[in-house]
Structures are given as structure tokens and as C-alpha cells.
Amino acid sequence: MSEQIPLSDDASALEPELDAARRDHTHEVAPDLAYRRLGIVNVVFVGPAGAGDRGWVLIDAGLAGTAGLIRSAAQARFGPDSRPAAIVMTHGHFDHVGALEQLAEAWDVPVHAHPLEHPYLNGSAAYPPADPGVGGGLMARLSRLYPTRPVDVGARLRALPEDGSVPFMPGWRWVHTPGHSVGHVSLWREQDGALIVGDAFCTTGQESAYDVARQEPQMHGPPMYFTIDWQAAEESVRRLAALRPELALTFHGQPMRGPEMRGALDRLAAEFRTVAVPSKGRYVAAPRHAADGSAYEAP
């Protein structure tokens, strides 16, 4: 199991009293940035409260069966019958696309993702199988059961712009952060140092059901059981640490902010091979790459 890099509650970006007063089922970490936890994963809403129809963007789409929860949170935050302008995908693993087809159809919205991730989103390729032998926790051991087959939103699928901008999200840039998947991206806003991480790193030990339930803040690498290229994952963490974020909103674990978070991220980047990479594993020995097609399996 990976070494833990603890984070104190002082680094937490949560404000429970303000969230409770708002009653929109989300945790707000900036005036136009909020998330909802759905079991083992988060989804993110970008846009100010009350933005109305087409005035906001959804980042990722959670687990299967959570479409109703996502829609109810959106309506409470943005207004009745409010639809996003788009859905932006950090990547297409099962816990990020579970409600994607249903929501994209119901909302009639485009879905934007890195071109290397498109095969997992247009039905043409599946992910490589999980590696249940890494991480040492129950979530890792169960990963052999996690779906790897693709979803198909091909008719609505769009490539993220080559200039690095993010559609309908002024001031945001996408950063290619492969390793956990070949087309994984994170989203960065320089103005206030906000970073929507995706799964490039986590703030909980995602391999452990105990850690996932407790959500005790810790700095970790990407979920081990699905990461297919550890060298690329290390380079991605270093790229994100170099941005010097003020706020890191991950999809597994609590959002963290400030100097302590940056210090832990710096340590993760500097000691990645020791604290994040498993000592052995399927993709430690044989990474998968888009260039040679090994990152893609038959659907």
C-alpha cells in the first residue's frame, strides 16, 4: 500500500455551516465552484449559484444510478430545470461516466473530452483491465469487478480545443495529465489558483474502503488499480505541483487549499516513486500507451 502523506484539517476547503445554509446539496469551495459527493466519487459544478439554464458546466458524471442526485443538486443550485451548457470530462472511468449517457440525452448537451479519451466515450474501445493486486485495500481487491467497457455519447462528443481553453468556462485551461488514463485532463484557473484535479492525484486513499468512508485528508497518487502508466502519472503530478495551486478539488477525497496542501503536493511530486507507485503490479512492469494502441481494449 502507498505511504500516506497526512493533511491536517487546517488545509480543508470545506465550510459545513455555509453549505448547510445554502441547502443545494453541494459543498461550495468558491463562489462559482462546488461539488457533490456521490459515494466513492465527486462531481463538480462550475458556475455561480442561480446561474440558470445553460449558465453552468458539469465536470464528470459520477456513478451509475446517480443521475437523479446530480440533477436535483443542479436544480437546487442553479434554478428549476437548469441545464448545463456542456459536460466536460476529466476521463471516462466507470465512476466518472455512470450517469453520462442519461444526463447528456436529458439535457441535450455536448460532451467535451481530450481526443485520446474519445474511444472510451464513443463505444469503440474499453479500458485495460484493473489491477486488483495493487494498493492492498478492499477497493483495490474489488476492482476486478469494476466495469471497463465504454459508454457511447459519440453523437454529442467534442474534442477539447487545441488552444487549451475550456468551452463555456472563461478563464479556465485544460492540462493534459495522462497516466491514470491516456486522455486524462485536469482544469486550471490561474486567476485564483483553482485546480480541478480529476484523478491525477487524490486526497484520500482510494484503494482502501476504510479511507474512502472516513475521508481523512491525505495526499495520494492516482487510484492505483486503474493507473496504466506510472511514469506519465509522475510527470502529471509534477506538472500540477508546478502550477502552485491555491485550491485542489479532487474527485476522490476532500478539497484542500493553502500552503499545507502545496507542501504535501510538492512531496508527492518529489517522492512519487516511493509514496505513490506500487512495488509491483501489472502496469508497473508493462505500461499501456495510446501510441501503440495498448491502452485500448476491444469493447
* pLDDT at res. 265: 97
Helix (H, G, I), strand (E, B) or coil at 85: coil
Residue 208 — very low, low, confident or very high, per pLDDT cuts 50/70/90?
Answer: low
Q: Which residue has the higher pLDDT, 136 or 123?
A: 123
Mean pLDDT of 23-46: 95
52 domain-assigned: yes
Instruction: Answer yes or no: is 268 within a domain.
Output: yes
Average pLDDT over residues 195-204: 96
Residue 298 lies in a domain: no
Q: What average pLDDT score do residues 14-26 get?
A: 92
Asked if residue 299 belongs to a domain, the reply is no
Residue 291 domain flag: no
Give dist(CA 56, CA 62) in Å, integer: 17
pLDDT tens track for 133-188: 997 778 778 888 899 999 999 999 999 999 999 999 999 999 999 999 999 999 99
Cα–Cα nearest to 126, from 79, 86, 182, 82: 182
Calculate Rg over the CA atoms of the chain. Answer: 18
Mean predicted confidence (pLDDT) in 122-141:
89
**Is residue 228 one of the residues assigned to a domain?**
yes
Minimum mean pLDDT range among 3-17, 44-58, 70-84: 3-17
Q: Give Cα 25 to chain centroid, integer Å.
A: 19
The CATH number of residue 31's host domain is 3.60.15.10
pLDDT, position 8: 86
Rounded Cα gap, residues 289 and 54, in angstroms: 36
User: Which residues contact residue 75 at a Cβ distance below 8 angstroms, ignoring those fewer than 6 apart?
Assistant: 81, 82
Do residues 193 and 172 lie in contact, with contact meaning Cβ atoms separated by under 8 Å? no
Residue 98 domain flag: yes
In a domain, 72, yes or no: yes
What's residue 34's pLDDT? 98
Residue 295 binned pLDDT confidence (cut-offs 50, 70, 90): very high
Report pTM. 0.96
**Would the CA dihedral through 248, 253, 258, 262 be positive or negative?**
negative
Residue 226 Cα to chain centre, angstroms = 13
Supply the mean pLDDT for the chain: 94
213, pLDDT greater than 70: no
Residue 263 half-sphere exposure, CB side, CA atoms within 13 Å? 8
Q: Do the Cβ atoms of 109 and 203 come closer than 8 Å? A: no
Burial (CB < 10 A; 0-12, 13-18, 19+), residue 209, is middle
pLDDT, tens digit (0-9, with 9 covering 90-100), for 76-107: 999 999 999 999 999 999 999 999 999 999 99
Number of structural domains (the chain) is 1
229-276 per-position pLDDT tens digit = 999 999 999 999 999 999 999 999 999 999 999 999 999 999 999 999
In this predicted structure, the answer to whether residue 1 has a pLDDT above a threshold of 50 is: no
In the predicted structure, residue 62 carries a pLDDT above the cut 90: yes
Domain that holds residue 118: 5-284
